[in-house]
Chains A and B, each alone.
Chain A
Amino acid sequence: SEFQDYDFLQFLGLEKAPSPHRFQPVPRILRKIIRAREAAAASGASQDLCYVKELGVRGNQLRLLPDQGFFLNTQKPFQDGSCLQKVLHFNLSAIKEKGKLTMAQLTLDLGPRSYYHLRPELAVALSVVPDRGVRGRSQPLPGALLTQLSVPAPQGPLQFNLQGVVKDRNSKRLKNLDLHLQILVKEDRYSGVTVQPWNPCDRLIRSLHASLLVVTLNPKYCRPSSRKRR
């Protein structure tokens, strides 16, 4: 008989059984956490499931939101020498779980050794934008610069703590988070010439993958941390 999984799905906080065409890439950290928990459960070891020791934060639910943004001006090189500019868009209203948000970590995965032969140094600039614009039509409105950093050996994931950004000034969780990502190729330190920006950029445009990992702590399942009362 058709298995009535409606109740269990409710229990999972889902309206209906998901039917993904393919699985999203699962970051190593999530696989590491689930494997550690399975091993602990199999050995009968007691676990504090309200603390994510691999991340060093309290929380009983982790959710990885995929980037739903778009690249800007992919047809022609940028005047300012940018390698790429991208709007990163995260639908925070998908976070259905109640409770305190204890972590919001943006991961920019630059892909495997994307520049093994070119080694250019990258400059990464990340801003919060009030309005992301429309794909192919309008640019995002300029926003507040969050961070700017140099990436000498551009490969693998870069991580940014965005916990202060996913809430508005009343500490209410935003419904959407829009960021403007700009990556420039800096002078190649070894040859002293500015490498042609389009070579590494095409590869970067293909391999760049952004995601936002949020951790929430539901007081219904997790007592406040037993901080010693003074």
Chain B
Amino acid sequence: AAIPVPKGFCRNLCHRHQLFINFQDLGWHKWVIAPKGFMANYCHGDCPFSMTTYLNSSNYAFMQAMMHMVDPKVPKAVCIPTKLSPISMLYQDNEKNVILRHYEDMVVDECGCG
């Protein structure tokens, strides 16, 4: 039988949060032609021992979470990206060159305890 989980417990657990990066907020719209921004997201949340047994976490996180229970001075496992993807950007440099280039690991697709 599933163990009843207290309300709001899940919200604190490690998961992906939406974060839209709008280049206008950074003043980069003056030289970035496209895109105007992109959904980058971020990882945040708690990594208790129980999570490391089923969420896509590394064995390392499992061991660290276990050691944290034995000795609280050992920090808990942390919530990190486990799947990332690139974006392409079209921008203009100072020599009037228009450049299209892609950048790895710009978007967080999945999170886990690591």
Q: Which residues in A have some Cβ–Cβ distance to B below 8 Å?
A: 3, 5, 11-14, 16-20, 23-24, 26, 30-31, 33-35, 37-38, 41, 44, 47, 49, 60-66, 91, 94, 97, 221
In the bound complex, do residue A49 and residue B86 qualify as a contact, i.e. CB atoms below 8 Å apart?
yes
Residues of B in contact, count (CB < 8 Å): 31
Pick 17 A–B contacts, CB within 8 A, sort by A.
Answer: A12-B89, A12-B91, A14-B93, A16-B94, A23-B33, A24-B97, A30-B90, A30-B100, A31-B34, A34-B90, A41-B85, A63-B98, A63-B99, A63-B100, A65-B97, A94-B93, A97-B101
CA A3 to CA B25, docked complex, whole Å:
10
Tell me which residues from 34 to 90 in chain B have a Cβ below 8 Å from any Cβ of chain A: 34-35, 38, 85-90
User: Are the C-beta atoms of A38 and B35 separated by less than 8 Å?
Assistant: yes
What is the minimal beta-carbon distance from A214 to any residue of chain B, in angstroms?
Answer: 9
B95–A41 touching, CB < 8 Å: no
Closest residue on chain B to residue A212 by CB atoms: B97
- Number of A-B residue pairs, CB cutoff 8 Å, is 99
Nearest Cβ in chain B — how far from A50, in angstroms?
A: 9
Question: Knowing A17-B31, A38-B34 touch, does A26 contact B98 (C-beta < 8 A)?
Answer: yes
- Do A38 and B31 have beta carbons less than 8 Å apart? no
Q: How far is the CA of A12 from the CA of B35 in the complex (A)?
A: 15
User: Does B92 reach chain A (CB closer than 8 Å)?
Assistant: yes
Main secondary structure of the interface of B (DSSP, over half): strand
B86 in contact with A18 (CB, 8 Å)? no
How far, in angstroms, from A64 to B93 measured CA to CA in the complex? Answer: 10
**Chain B residues engaging chain A, CB cutoff 8 angstroms:** 26-28, 30-31, 33-35, 38, 85-104, 107, 109
CB distance from A172 to the nearest CB of B (A): 20
CA distance A24 to B30 in the complex (A): 12
Question: A47: which B residues are within 8 A, CB to CB?
Answer: 86
Q: Flag if B101 contacts A62 (CB, 8 Å).
A: yes
Q: Are B93 and A37 in contact (CB under 8 A)?
A: no
* Interface contact A19-B101, CB-CB below 8 Å: no
A41 cross-chain contacts in B, Cβ below 8 A: 38, 85-88, 107
| Contacting residues, chain B, for A64 (C-beta < 8 A) | 97-99
- B90-A17 in contact (CB<8A): no
